[in-house]
Structure 1
Amino acid sequence: MLLPREKAHFVLADTPLLLLDGAPVHDALPLLHAPDGEMPSCSGWSVAALATMCVVDGPGDAGCLIPGLAAAEPDPAAALAALSAWSGAVDRAGGAVVVSMQVLPANLALLDWPGILTGGIARGGFVPAAGQ
């Protein structure tokens, strides 16, 4: 299933982070519980990260395709460079942390990480890169 680009946030870090907002794979991902900050692995899942698209693939029919660029991107060249850097980080880390919530706050700086990691409101974990 297609997830609109506006519903995905690619966060560049040592272990890249993919935040999903209302994703069709939300209920299929395992409940995220990481009270000590250690991300559980998502068994049977993989992520294929390219600058032009990202695929989160799960067991059975679970999975979604995320376009790399939004239609109304104000600076497509900068967005493409950021997505290329993110996909490179996924390759180096061997995967990404995928965090899915039914509704993400409009301001991602307001994310309550302790609550997300222990409160049973998010799903996901570390998803290995495809082919790993």
Structure 2
Amino acid sequence: MPRENTHFVLGPVPLLLLAGAPIHSVLPVLHAPGGRMPSCPEWRLMPRLTMSVVDGPGDAGCLVQGARSQEEAEAMAQWCDAAEQAGGAVVVSLDSFDVPPEDIDWDELFTGGRSRGGFVAMA
């Protein structure tokens, strides 16, 4: 996955937002009303500074480009540490980014039916 199609978001549980991911159709439809995040039990996350892996059942999976600069490395290290502390991250896949990440309607993202994903535990 090219870096421009990914966003690593820090929060109570770290979130990995993907656009146009090859795993989009394989991930479960995401429905998380009231913030109750479903898990993806057959999936595993391996977050690293320079690349992360989202590994699914069978041949499903993708490699996500990590930090490309020193500034990104600091933020990426924080995200990886947060994922380690949380035991994984929420992976959300969209067909494409229709708006910049700062303008995302998170309620619609988690309940609107166009997103796929859920909580993915560390490998």
Q: How large is the RMSD of aligned CA atoms in angstroms?
A: 1.1
Which has more radius of gyration? Answer: 1
Instruction: Give 3-state SS (helix, strand or coil) of 1:20's partner.
Output: strand
Q: Shift of the alpha carbon at 1:109?
A: 1.9
TM-score (norm 2): 0.95
Q: CA deviation at 1:110?
A: 1.8
Is the Cα contact below 8 Å between 2:7 and 2:101 reproduced in 1?
no
Q: Deviations over 1:41-74 (max 9, x none)?
A: 011001100111100000001000012134xxxx
Identity of aligned residues (%): 52
User: Which residue identity is paired with 2:60?
Assistant: A
Which residue among 32, 36, 39 is the counterpart of 1:38? 36
Select between 101-110 and 85-94 the one with higher mean Cα deviation: 101-110
The within-5 A match list for 1:76-91 is 76-91=69-84
Count of matched residue pairs: 123
| TM-aligned CA deviation for residue 105 of structure 1 | 2.8
**4+ residue segments displaced more than 4 Å:** none
1:99 to 2:92 alignment? yes
Of 41, 45, 48, the residue aligned with 2:46 is 48
Q: 1:36: Cα distance to partner?
A: 1.7
The 2-side partners of 1:9 and 1:105 are apart by: 14
Extract unaligned runs of 5+ from structure 1: 71-75
Give the Cα–Cα distance (whole angstroms) in 1 for the partners of residues 22 and 98 of structure 2. 18
Give per-residue Cα distances to partners, 1:20-51, cap 9 Å, x unaligned: 01100000000000112110001100110011
Q: Structure 2 unaligned runs (5+)?
A: none
Q: Is residue 19–residue 94 contact of structure 2 (8 Å, CA) maintained in 1?
A: yes
Matched, 1:67 2:75: no
Whole-Å Cα distance in 1 between the matches of residues 99 and 115 of structure 2? Answer: 16
Q: CA deviation at 1:91?
A: 0.3
State how far apart, in whole Å, the 2-side matches of 1:47 and 1:15 are. Answer: 14
- What is the identity, as a one-letter code, of the residue corresponding to 1:38? R
Amino acid across the alignment from 1:7: N
